[in-house]
Amino acid sequence: MRALALVAHGGPEVAQLLELPDPVLPIDGAIIRVKACALNHLDLWVRRGWPALRLTFPHIQGSDIAGVVEHVADGVIAVKPGDRVLVSPGTSCGNCAACGSGNDSLCAKYHLRGETMAGGACERVAAAANDLLRLPDSLSFEEAAATSLTFLTAWHMLVARAHLARGEWILVQAAGSGVGSAAIQVARYLGAQIIATAGDDAKLDRAKALGAAHAINYRTADFLSEVRRITAKRGVDVVFESVGGETFEKSVRALAPGGRLVTCGATSGAEAKIDLRVLFWKQLSLLGSTMGGKRELAEVLRLAGAGHFKAVIDRVFPLEKAREALFALESREVFGKIVLVP
């Protein structure tokens, strides 16, 4: 089969379209013919590598997978050949206390497809049956793949971690990213008042169309000053962060007393500076968040199928143009998701 795979860590040249062996049918699962696979900034970070990341090369990229079941193992009844499915981006043991409570990503055996295990930017993938969710008829494969990781991440951040409530103010940083555009829609669904930031006015217009009441171009205005102006100096109840060092200190300062900052990433750097006096005096909460559980993914998929959420797709590329797709993602000149179709 064809696959977008890394042959080493490094620059764009290490991501190559290769011919690799088909996956082996797992004893508790199925083989899925991939119809769409969305890319994430995670794919760029995995390509560059980090000290604790240990991969076997070639390593297939891509966490967000939608497709059709081709073969099932004997005894598997949850799915059958021909079923349209979403493959959970994360997999866990399913037996520990974390998995039992729905906190799959806290499982000691949690793995993310495309990161520490093979991904789905290829023609076929293998998956355990309990990692497969049936697609609503209303969603295309491209929409489903573009919904998976970003909406699951945003939902877990805002519902399970930050407990965003109706009427509260939220600041969504990097609204043009896949997770940022998902966060706006989740916050809108929860009834929050949304302030979004992005680096150009076209992205801000799209953020408003998704539900942001206010939009700030962080290249031409100081977002902290703008947040204080918009909220009459009060600040926001929740900050949705994925940028990291470049914005973190001001994001903390943008919080109202008792506010919560929830973060899932550090695209601009992993080191951040904060004034601890602001933290304890205003009684703030700083919350980390990684992915979410399969129960949450099922709820996100249900809401997307019912039309409450709409995956924002910037462009769709054929698999043979995967290098171009990765370049587009790295350029940051996208709004929403980049999707590959084999």
For residue range 180-207, what is the model confidence (pLDDT) as tens digits?
999 999 999 999 999 999 999 999 999 9
pLDDT of residue 332: 77
What percentage of the chain has pLDDT greater than the value 70? 100
Confidence of residue 252 (pLDDT cuts 50, 70, 90): very high
Q: Higher confidence at residue 87 or residue 246?
A: 87
Q: Which residues contact 210 (CB under 8 A, 6 or more apart)?
A: 175, 181, 184, 185, 188, 312
For residue range 142-161, what is the model confidence (pLDDT) as tens digits?
999 999 999 999 999 999 99
Confidence of residue 331 (pLDDT cuts 50, 70, 90): confident
Task: Single out the residue of 34, 60, 59, 70 nearest to residue 144, CA to CA.
Answer: 34
pLDDT of residue 265: 83
Q: Higher confidence at residue 176 or residue 296?
A: 296
Q: Is the Cα torsion angle 113, 125, 180, 199 positive or negative in sign?
A: positive
Any idea what the Cα angle at residue 313 is, between residues 48 and 196, rounded to 5°? 85
Rounded to 10 degrees, the C-alpha dihedral 182/183/189/190 comes to 160
Q: Which residues contact 43 (CB under 8 A, 6 or more apart)?
A: 61, 62, 63, 114, 119, 121, 326, 329
Task: Single out the residue of 15, 136, 157 nearest to residue 66, CA to CA.
Answer: 136
Confidence of residue 246 (pLDDT cuts 50, 70, 90): confident
pLDDT of residue 333: 78
What CATH architecture does domain 152-288 belong to? Answer: Alpha-Beta Complex (3.90)
What are residue 240's DSSP bridge partners?
Answer: 172, 262
pLDDT of residue 327: 92
**What is the CB-side half-sphere exposure of residue 319 using CA atoms within 13 A?**
23
Residues composing the chain: 342
pLDDT of residue 336: 87
Average pLDDT over residues 75-87: 96
Residues 255 and 239 sit within 8 Å (Cβ to Cβ): yes
Annotate 29-86 with DSSP letters as a single string.
EEEEEEEEEEE-HHHHHHHH--TT---PSSEE--SEEEEEEEEE-TT--S--TT-EEE
Q: What is the CATH number of domain 2-135+312-341?
A: 3.90.180.10
Q: What is the mean pLDDT of the chain?
A: 95
| Whether the domain at 2-135+312-341 and the domain at 152-288 fall into the same CATH topology | yes
pLDDT of residue 214: 97
The kind and range of the H/E element at 278 are: helix 276-281
Residue 335 has pLDDT above 90, yes or no: no
Segments making up each domain of the chain, as ranges:
2-135+312-341, 152-288
